Amino acid sequence: MTSEELATAVRDFCTHFVMPEGLLQMCEERVLGEGDEQYSLGDQQVFELLPIDKLGLMFEEEIADTLVYVVMLCIRFREWSYLTTVQHLETFAEALITAYRDLKTSLQEAEYNNV
């Protein structure tokens, strides 16, 4: 898969969601810019060659980083009494934690099934 094909896959996936203006473009730019430099092997992406548990670990680390950012944003938005924003961030954090649990279960099943 080339970086362009991955960017197309990201676009196709994101069409299922109502995306804020500019966010999809940012995702595509990350795939075609920094992501291309770090993870492209020409006609393959590094993720295609990684064992699923390694890719899962990388995702876990991103979830952890994102949760830290959520906490930092909540702290700042509470200071300004933007409580609706804090509630949305808390809901987002809960969804991330659920995704993390599901990921762990799927990785365990994949390991058990030698996927």
Contact between residue 64 and residue 17 where contact means Cβ atoms under 8 Å apart: no
pLDDT of residue 113: 86
> Which residues, 6+ apart, have CB-to-CB distance to 15 below 8 Å?
none
User: In the predicted model, what is the mean pLDDT of the chain?
Assistant: 94
Give me 16's structure tokens.
């299922």
Residue 114 banded pLDDT, cuts 50, 70, 90 = confident
Residue 10 banded pLDDT, cuts 50, 70, 90 = very high
Contact between residue 32 and residue 4 where contact means Cβ atoms under 8 Å apart: yes
The average pLDDT across 11-36 equals: 95
pLDDT score of 42 more than 90: yes
* Cα-based distances in Å from 85 to 35, 71, 77, 82, 94: 30, 12, 7, 6, 14
- d(CA 10, CA 27) in angstroms, rounded, equals 8
Dihedral angle computed from the Cα positions of residues 66, 12, 44 and 2, in that order, rounded to the nearest 10 degrees: -110
